[in-house]
Structure formats: structure tokens, C-alpha cells
Amino acid sequence: MHIIRQKKVISQLANIAGLLLLGTLSACGGGGNNENSTASTGGSTTPPVVAPTAAALPFTRMGLDYQFSSLHYQSTASRNGRDLGATIDASANITFSHQASGPQDFPLNYNFAFPSALPGGSVAASNVFSTSNGAANKDVKILAPNATKTVQNVFWRNIDDPNAGGFALPGYQTDLTTLTWPASGTAVYTGKAFQYVVEYSTVGTAINRFALYSSDVTATVNYGAQTITIAVAANPVLIDSVNSPSTRDPATFASTITFSGINYSTLNTGFTIPKHSSGMGFSGDGYATVFGFFGANAEEFGGIFEYHSQANTFPAAQYISMALRKQ
């Protein structure tokens, strides 16, 4: 048996106003007063750039929210797309506001805030920044927050129940109508990826084992061939886990994915993402994948990919989320 997923795909690019100056964040999310905030040390950080103007580059969020049921054979609600509801204030605190997509989506309703490393923000971690917002029941992690200047790679889940969570890329998405796709040449984007592995304790029982890893990742854009090849390295580092995840060969974390027929025009009008597989051999449904460029000149790239196993196999699900910067 396997998880039955219900999704409503949002294919159009967001048209949210730019850098929103909010005087007061939601009472359910708070402002910068998050509890138990910790930041990793070591390495250097990249000084933030001046935030893009509101007229030039909107702030929004693409990603995936999920709600596993308590038992794997029951339905799972999830929502993915390019505008899942996000605002940013003058201190670069980000607020996520879930937008329900239907009657099966109600478990995912939320509103919470956390600090960021975007221009004007307070986060200065070179590896992983972690924070808990107890009032909103949210645990939030940002991977390599200072490595990118226009987007953050965010993982969140409910503190009391890891079956509810999500991956998000909030930031300043590129206005693709202002760019011309080069006729030739390549561009290389590098950075870190989250990898999240969700398992059954045994087949036919509750989903209760979760493991979050980081991996190196490179995305190569071939302009002439109109392809993007994403290579996730076989070097997973465990960040966090709930219960005891299974031991598996690091090589299975490696994934190489190539998307064809890519250019700024097709991405702007709605690129149809084909099905593909992860290094673990699990299926990625095209409609559950989102990726795109960030920054005024597409200087950063991000993507979120969902995979699921076949019936009676492990794990139940795998997610890869990345935010990369052009070299």
C-alpha cells in the first residue's frame, strides 16, 4: 500500500507585491522573538546586497506543504506551487501564510514567522540555522542561509507532529520577461540541498521515522541545448531525525536529474515537468516538482522535488530541496 496524494497545482508565476514592510507580524507567528534560536558557526558569510525594489522584483514563495495522515493507507493532503503565501518585513522576518486549496487541505492551515538572512536580516549562519516558534508550534531550519542573497532554503514542521511540514523557497523570484535566454554557453550553480527521508516503522503501520540531511549539489544550465542538469552528491550529513531512521548506503542519496526544453519563456508560461526518479529509485511525479530562478539576473536557482516509493517498499517519501548560487 502507498500514500494517496491530493494536490492542486499552481502553475502561474506569483504576482505578489515586492518587499512588504509590515509593522506587525501575525500574532500566531510573532516577530523576531523566536524561542531557542541557534546558528551554526564556522566559515565565512556573504554580505547581503541591497534588497531589490518592489517594482522590479516581487517577494513570494514556491514550495511544498504536506500533511501525512496518521496511518499511511489514509489520504495525505499536500499543496505545491509558486505562490504559497509569504511576506517579509523591514527586518527580513518572513511570515508564511498557508492558502488552503480545498476541503481536504484544512490540516495545513497555518500562519507563522521566523528570521532570515535576506538583506536586512539577523541570521548569520554558514551551515544550518534552527529556530522554534512555540506559539505557532513550528520548528524551522534554514540551510546555508548566508550562501544565497535572494532566496532561503527553508524546512519547517510542527513541533508536536512531524507528519505536518513543508519545504519552501521564499525570496525574490526573477522576472523572466526581462531576460533573454543565451543562444550558447553554460552556467553552473552550486550550493546545498536538504534531503528528507520519511519511513514507515514497518509496512502497514504508522509513518513515524523522519531524517533530515544536507548534501552538496550542482546545477548546470546548458543554454544552447536548453537543459538543466541537477547533480546531488552522495555525501549526506544528518541534520535532525525523529525516532531511528534506517541505515542506508550514502550512494543512494545521489541523484542526477536533467530537464529538457528549458528557457526563460517556457518557464514563464508554464513548463511541463516530466516524471523522473531519485537516486533511491523512487518516483518523482512531474506535478509535484517546482523550480525556478531568483534575483534580478537569475543569479540564483532553487528547486523542490518530491519522490515516493512503490507499494510495500521503504521509505514512504523522499524530498530534495535546494537553493544555489551562480559561480
Alpha helices in the chain (DSSP H): 264-269
Using CA atoms, how far apart are residues 108 and 189, in angstroms rounded to an integer? 32
Q: What is the reported pLDDT for 284? A: 61
Nearest Cα residue to 172 out of 301, 43, 319? 301
At 269 the three-state DSSP class reads helix
Phi/psi at 193 (5° precision): -125, 140
Model confidence pLDDT, tens digit, residues 77-109: 566 777 788 999 999 999 998 766 665 555 567
Q: Give the per-residue pLDDT at 199.
A: 81
Per-residue model confidence as pLDDT tens digits over 29-45: 333 333 334 444 334 44
Residues in the chain: 327
pTM here is 0.80
Long-range pairs for 100-105: beta carbons < 8 A, 24 or more residues apart: 101/7, 101/8, 102/6, 102/8, 104/6, 104/75, 104/77, 105/8, 105/77, 105/79
Q: What is the pLDDT of residue 88?
A: 94
> What pLDDT score was predicted for residue 75?
44
Number of other residues whose CB lies within 10 A of the CB of residue 16: 16
Q: With helix as H, strand as E and coil as C, how does 22-86 read?
A: CCCCCCCCCCCCCEEEEECCCCCCCCCCCCCCCCCCCEEEEEEEEECCCECCCEEEEEEECCCCE
By DSSP bridging, strand 75-81 and strand 4-6 are: parallel
Using alpha carbons, select from 215, 157, 194 the residue that is nearest to residue 304.
194
> Residue holding cell 532554503?
153
H or E segment and range at residue 258:
strand 255-260
pLDDT of residue 103: 59
Give the per-residue pLDDT at 316.
76
Which stretches in the chain have pLDDT values below 50?
1-45, 54, 71-75
CB-neighbour burial class of residue 326 (10 A; exposed 0-12, middle 13-18, buried 19+): middle
pLDDT, residue 99, reads 66
Dist. CA 173–CA 164, nearest whole Å: 26
Beta strand pairing call for 317-326 and 186-200: antiparallel
Q: Strand, helix or coil at 1?
A: coil
Angle at 88 between CA 265 and CA 59, to 5 degrees: 10
Set of cell numbers at residue 90: 523591514
Query: What pLDDT shows up at residue 114?
Result: 97
Q: What is the pLDDT of residue 248?
A: 84
Domain boundaries of the chain, sorted by first residue: 4-326
Q: Round to whole Å and give the CA distance between 268 and 292.
A: 9
